Chains A and B, each alone.
Chain A
């Protein structure tokens, strides 16, 4: 079983600075981490490998510093890592991102055929959740999004049994392999990394590919050029207007509130009574 996990480096902070000129993230302002959902994706791959055996590769697109998230993935248990890094990839929206990643996945599958791709449900910076399903379309494999459990992997039949989270509950889905999953955080707990993994990770050097390492990529589909969406403008969210302040002692305020609510008592009634 060969599982490839897509891992993204994201800024880790609640206060991210934005460059007002370019309307882009000032990534230097925040420490970079492995996207939390992707850590769960790697952990899930480790869980599956315990059952089926096989190899876990991780793939990232980003600047050279993104090797850090590949090392972190090796700590969790990945066997190998690939980084695609090139100016030509920069400024990609989700369409161009899924194109670049799918090209790299095709290249990896020539070295070793891929049985499963796992992505995070979303990345905490761009926060679209669109890259995973996009990759699945480009590789023409079925996507299963919002996965909360991989219940069974049947290598003989080449099928997996998956729990997919829904708005009000979940679905049990059977999918053929190869397929692409995007995982929720609740799928597993990140385990402490065993010492041998830590040692391996410290020395690990991922394979790094530039655009020139790819044979058949259409450069017009990469990076900013290949991105149909652009950020038009950034603005502060409109401030809603506040209402009435109740005055007086605590007792006065409570009394006034009760009487205001009594005027709207129909609102207090549960829906079934409407």
Chain B
């Protein structure tokens, strides 16, 4: 393998029902930085059925090129069909770096592709960089529960591949005036050759989705003391139209169902406002919420690690402060006669 034959940064673009997944746009943002450092083009890889209109969006979000396969067999994601397409493109055009979202489909696809291309794949990364001296991709991921980061290198194989966690990288503001090259490829696939069929897709619109989409989140920790005290967080959430979440300890105590856990082994959230109440701010919790726009921490321990990530910190007793806060919000809502509606 001649490593110099491999040039360019690629991002696999995930698409559902004609909409590009957020993580793919984030990866175009991150990929842009890598490509600029290496002075190579950034490309998006777009596959599906009837996806041509999306190419301009990929370019607007930072790509110089779009590699595209439009085929009815690719209507829904399946490892078999998508893998064939990606492997064909990668063998033909030889990217040096190839990023995928660390989503169920992205991880599935990347693992299969890495095996066939006989190359390395770094899982669930949260930091990406280039070692310019060696023109080497440095993909870092939290290890051992997030207490430490490991930088994984792939020195002698190409492409250097990684899956990247959603909501960690930042998408660029779309620039519709950007132009780029669209390379469309054909692939011979037939439904008869497929060994798997997607019979049905069921969308779940329960709380879990709500948490990921929530604009304002009130997250409570074990410091609330008991289930009864925990209820006051719902009052606050009601007053400002927020969604309630919790730490793992709260879930383990049975105060909240598991799908409302925030953190490394729960949901990753990026609301505009995040209330972190009576929770310590363990690293495993923080990785799931640190990209919130404003973080408000309430904790009686002035040394609690949550204050390290908080935009505004209140040292005090949550059981005293939360009801006051709720009361204030309620009053303001009444005063304004519904003019400001938080919900």
Q: Is A228's CB under 8 angstroms from B154's CB?
A: yes
Q: Mark A254-274, 1 if CB is under 8 A from B, else 0.
A: 110110110011011111000
Residues of chain B within 8 A of A257, CB atoms compared:
296, 312, 314, 325
Distance between A96 CB and nearest chain B CB, rounded to angstroms:
10
Q: In the bound complex, do residue B79 and residue A133 qualify as a contact, i.e. CB atoms below 8 Å apart?
A: yes
Q: Given the interface contacts A130-B123, A179-B195, A265-B340, does A270 sit within 8 Å of B241 by beta carbon?
A: yes
Interface string of B156-184 (1 = CB under 8 A from A): 11000000000000000000000000000
With beta carbons under 8 angstroms apart, the residue of A136, A142, A171, A270 that contacts B215 is A270
Question: Which residue on A lies nearest to B148, using beta carbons?
Answer: A234
Give the CA-CA distance A230 to B290 in the complex, in Å: 28
Contact call A232/B153, Cβ cutoff below 8 A: yes
Q: State the Cβ distance, A208 to closest chain B Cβ, in Å.
A: 26
Q: Which residues of B contact A265 (CB under 8 A)?
A: 340
Query: Cβ of A138 < 8 Å from any Cβ of B?
Result: yes
Q: Mark A220-258, 1 if CB is under 8 A from B, else 0.
A: 000000011111111111011111111000110111011
Q: Is B207's CB within 8 Å of the partner chain A? A: no
Tier of interface size on chain A: 35 or more
Residue of A138, A228, A236 ringed by the most chain B CB atoms within 10 A? A228
Interface residues of B in 293-338 (CB under 8 A from A): 293-296, 307-317, 320-321, 324-325, 328-329, 332
Task: Determine which of B76, B111, B307 lies in contact with A245 in the assembled complex, contact meaning CB atoms within 8 Å.
Answer: B307
Q: B interface, how many residues as a size bin?
A: 35 or more
Which residues of B are found within 8 Å of A95, using beta-carbon distances?
114-115, 118-121
Would A142 and B312 count as touching, CB distance under 8 A?
no
Tell me, yes or no, whether B57 is within 8 Å of chain A by CB.
Answer: no
Q: Which of B39-47, B137-145, B222-230 contacts A (4 or more CB under 8 A)?
A: B137-145
Please provide the chain B residues from 192 to 222 with a CB less than 8 Å away from any CB of chain A in the complex.
195-205, 209, 213, 215-216
Binary CB contact string for chain B from 113 to 130 against chain A (1 if under 8 A, 0 otherwise): 011101111111000000
Looking at A160-168, A195-203, A209-217, the stretch in contact with chain B turns out to be A160-168
A168 to B213, alpha carbons, bound, how many Å? 11
Within 8 A of B (CB), among A174-220: 174-176, 179
CB <8 Å contact, A168 and B203: yes
Interface string of B94-118 (1 = CB under 8 A from A): 0000000001110110111011101
Q: How many A-B residue pairs have CB under 8 A?
A: 232
Q: Does B342 contact A (CB under 8 A)?
A: yes
B152 at interface, CB cutoff 8 A:
yes
B195 and A176 contact, CB distance less than 8 A? yes
Determine which of A132, A166, A179, A229 lies in contact with B104 in the assembled complex, contact meaning CB atoms within 8 Å.
A166
Bound complex: CA A145 to CA B241 (Å): 36
Q: Known contacts A130-B114, A165-B104, A253-B314; decide if A142 and B195 are in contact (CB<8 Å).
A: yes
Please, which residue of chain A has its CB at the minimum distance from the CB of B343?
A: A270
- CB–CB B309/A242 < 8 A: yes
Interface pair B104/A167, CB less than 8 Å apart: yes
Which secondary structure dominates where chain B touches chain A?
mixed
Q: Is there an interface contact between A231 and B273, defined as CB atoms closer than 8 Å?
A: no
Given contacts A257-B325, A269-B215, contact A169 B111 (CB under 8 A): no
- Structural contact, A230 and B152, CB atoms closer than 8 A: yes
A58-84, CB < 8 A from B: none
Assess whether B195 is in contact with A253, with CB atoms less than 8 Å apart: no
Interface pair A175/B104, CB less than 8 Å apart: no
Using Cβ atoms and an 8 Å threshold, which residues of chain B touch A267?
215, 272-273, 293-294
Please tell me which one of the listed residues B110, B293, B308 contacts residue A240 in the complex, with CB atoms under 8 A apart. Answer: B308
Among residues of A, the one whose C-beta sits closest to the C-beta of B113 is A137
Seed contacts A235-B151, A237-B142; 19 additional CB < 8 Å A-B pairs: A18-B144, A18-B148, A133-B112, A134-B111, A137-B112, A171-B76, A171-B202, A229-B152, A229-B153, A231-B152, A240-B309, A244-B311, A244-B313, A246-B313, A250-B316, A250-B321, A260-B312, A268-B216, A269-B342
Binding site for B on A (CB under 8 A): 14, 16, 18, 23, 25, 93-95, 98, 125, 127-130, 132-134, 136-138, 141-146, 161, 164-176, 179, 227-237, 239-246, 250-251, 253-255, 257-258, 260-261, 264-265, 267-271
List 23 A-B residue pairs with CB atoms under 8 Å apart, sorted by A's residue number: A94-B111, A95-B121, A134-B112, A136-B79, A137-B112, A145-B107, A169-B202, A171-B199, A173-B199, A228-B119, A229-B121, A229-B153, A233-B151, A234-B148, A234-B149, A234-B150, A242-B307, A243-B313, A250-B316, A253-B314, A268-B240, A268-B241, A268-B342
